[in-house]
């Protein structure tokens, strides 16, 4: 199963920048054609890209997790009504109307999948990664979650219960990872920096 969860930036290649992929070239050509014909405003495209890069995405979910780690009252509200608790931090909208937070803990690990398509909580995680939408992940996460986690490098003790949550058009899930040890003195911003997208899907441990 192909994963895109590795960081491909900063590999230190000294032979120049790699050429863009065939798909990237096609997208650029289509964009140029639409702009040339006056069907698309470049400023509108820039605004859309900026929205998904800076206003929605994993950094939002990380703030939710950090607040839950550091504020017991907020954590309880998140358990009772995740949609409302997440909205308290300003994160709401399409694909996040009905949220459920599931917590990892001693002996319990949660994993999120969408077996039918690619339902995903955009307001807190941004757009889904390629592997999340792939047929192998969607089928095997339910059938063999421990094996799938191992492919992501996440090895769990044999006695850990793995709970798989199937997202739908009605309900989206956010995994609250276990807080790493030795972080008691960290503030929310520092805690949020420790949280990863894969940790909030459940394919990684922090």
Query: Which are the catalytic amino acids?
Result: 114, 117-119
> For residues 77 and 84, is the Cβ–Cβ distance under 8 A?
yes
From the list 185, 184, 189, 181, the residue with the least C-alpha distance to 66 is 189
């Amino acid at each position: 199963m192909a994963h895109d969860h590795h960081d491909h930036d900063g590999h230190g290649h000294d032979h120049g920048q790699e050429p863009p992929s065939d798909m990237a070239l096609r997208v650029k050509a289509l964009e140029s054609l639409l702009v040339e014909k006056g069907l698309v405003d470049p400023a509108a495209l820039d605004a859309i890209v900026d929205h998904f890069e800076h206003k929605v995405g994993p950094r939002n979910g990380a703030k939710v997790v950090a607040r839950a780690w550091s504020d017991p009252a907020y954590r309880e509200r998140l358990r009772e009504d995740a949609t409302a608790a997440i909205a308290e931090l300003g994160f709401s909208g399409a694909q996040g109307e009905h949220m459920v937070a599931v917590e990892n803990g001693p002996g319990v690990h949660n994993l999120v999948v969408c077996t039918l398509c690619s339902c995903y909580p955009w307001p807190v995680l941004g757009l889904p990664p390629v592997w999340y939408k792939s047929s192998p992940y969607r089928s095997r996460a339910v059938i063999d979650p421990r094996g799938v986690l191992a492919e992501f490098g996440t090895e769990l003790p044999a006695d850990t219960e793995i709970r798989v949550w199937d997202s739908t058009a009605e309900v989206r899930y956010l995994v609250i990872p276990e807080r790493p040890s030795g972080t008691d003195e960290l503030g929310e911003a520092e805690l949020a920096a420790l949280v990863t997208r894969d940790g909030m899907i459940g394919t990684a441990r922090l």
